[in-house]
A and B are shown apart, each in its own frame.
Chain A
């Protein structure tokens, strides 16, 4: 298994590496052209801005997921975690309105709480997988159920809504713009750049790749496996918290429906972007492109009535599979060496 991953890359040569890098972007470009042909409104400034802004939640979460997956883990709890953190944030901020009033300070307490909860939730996932020696799939499946139930319980099965005046104050964090760039897009860009540096230019990033390739080899190389793996979950938790900080001002509410399926969208974005699901190879840039692609598919389907609504899921499925197939470059390899796969 180990030999395969390490030897497969040099063997695949220049072509495949190009496709790993440019494949997701090419697929996105093709999708955009397709969208424009179906409806020229696709290319309007407002629509492009909508797509990028919407991509921010999944994009930010997926950057965190890139670390977890690169290091050989998986986190299924992110969607529920986002819902739970949003819910608690809203409740606490509503409670503080009486003592602290409708002020920036109230919002900052909410934001701080969100960061704290995100880090703690990530730490819990990390420690249970590393110290607790339980498979990440099971740990995060468990926490996924726990957070989802907790937010349903907190909301009495209904919806938690942020105090109206507080929301007006908080609104610019989603709807505002800095130098014509919507704030959520800016946040995604910053998170992506920080993530890229962390994964590609630091010892921590190299350790993530090493652990994902082979835990035992990494252990012999004196990599602190438990610490690095736990940290990837903490990063994931922080990314989820950041996503909730820009999500809450959008509709000012959280319910049991918040963040449903976000975990799968995040994982899909990561894989479309070229990261390997079993770990050992991660691409932040690709992840961001993957997240934008997923949003774009939904957007194009809304802009046309050519395809029956009932088939939306099927179209999404086909595009995701084709995108990853193109990116893996299997079709090229077969052309060169007959039985390449």
Chain B
């Protein structure tokens, strides 16, 4: 009993004094991102961790609190903890979903924190101070543009879509708009869920179904890796080429090595979380104005520039 109450008292004391003491001098940046449940999110986590280490070394007065969540509810809970327990001065968030997290982020803003939103926008305007966005329609457009340039006289292509979501729709709509009227014929589109195994099976079936395929838009590098195996198994490497997307190191390596089957990749970088964290840190440690929208490009990765996008240590 005695010991227990002493411990409780200590814990309370620690809880009361430490954050107070720390927040008096240090700027606290909370970073809330989805857990590493698939390849791209794994890269996101790795880049967030790297940016945390780098920023804390660069700005001794900065403390970064990195929390991950498995679903929107968990992320909303994490936001409450960031405010009540850590008393953050700034929040960098990649929302799981726009709708359910708009309210919780608004609550964080009302606590006085500076808000940076990454990748997926909130469903209400004016909450965030900084918005760093990847460009999904641009990814679709750039992919379409490249396929068009390779098939100037038109041709037959297949498309492997991701998980049925807004992100997937935006990419596919922009892609379709870009190739419209170019004589390129989409034989069929199927969902491969941004997954290697699904990419493999869907492509196997496309190959048994269509005797002539000139190009594959896999949209995502995980899918692309599955597609590559299916194409190799069927021995049809020479008749087509594959365009993925995201910038996974294995695929960028192939582009760098001049692989004919995977001639290019389109960037949708998980490192955008680092962009957001850097911009947010500038707000506190420089005079540079940072408020606004930052829309990242979706550049075409070719053998010439591939080395700029190659991070061999990243898990993605």
Contacts and interface: CB of A to CB of B under 8 A. Distances in A.
Interface of A: 39, 41, 44, 46-47, 50, 54, 152, 155-159, 161, 175, 250-251, 253, 255-258, 298-299, 302-303, 305, 309-310, 312
B46 A256 contact: no
A251 B161 CA distance: 19
Contacts of B36: 152, 156-158, 256
Interface of B: 35-39, 41-43, 45-46, 161, 164, 188-191, 195-197, 200-202, 204-209, 222, 225-226, 229, 233-234, 250, 314-316
A121 to B, nearest CB: 21
A256 B38 contact: yes
A257 B229 CA distance: 17
Contact of A309 (B189, B197, B207): B189
B38 A251 contact: no
Contacts of B226: 251
A69 to B, nearest CB: 25
Contact of B225 (A46, A251, A309): A251
Nearest to B46: A156
A44 B211 CA distance: 12
Given A46-B234, A50-B205, A302-B206, A158 B39 contact: yes
Contacts of A310: 164
B315 A251 contact: no
Nearest to A42: B208
A302 B205 contact: yes
Contact of A50 (B35, B43, B204, B222): B204
A158 B225 contact: no
- Listed from nearest, the 6 A-B pairs whose CB atoms lie closest are A157-B36, A158-B315, A157-B42, A302-B205, A158-B42, A156-B315
Contacts of B202: 302
Which of the listed residues B38, B42, B208, B229 has the most CB atoms from chain A within 10 Å of its own CB?
B208
Contacts of B188: 305
Given A158-B316, A309-B164, A310-B164, A253 B209 contact: no
A39 B209 CA distance: 8
Contact of B45 (A157, A258, A303): A157
Nearest to B41: A157
A23 B247 CA distance: 48
Contacts of B46: 156-158
B250 to A, nearest CB: 7
Contacts of A161: 250
A255 B38 contact: yes
B298 to A, nearest CB: 21
B190 A157 contact: no
A189 B43 CA distance: 40
A50 B209 CA distance: 12
A41 B39 contact: no
Contacts of B209: 39, 41, 302-303
A299 B205 contact: yes
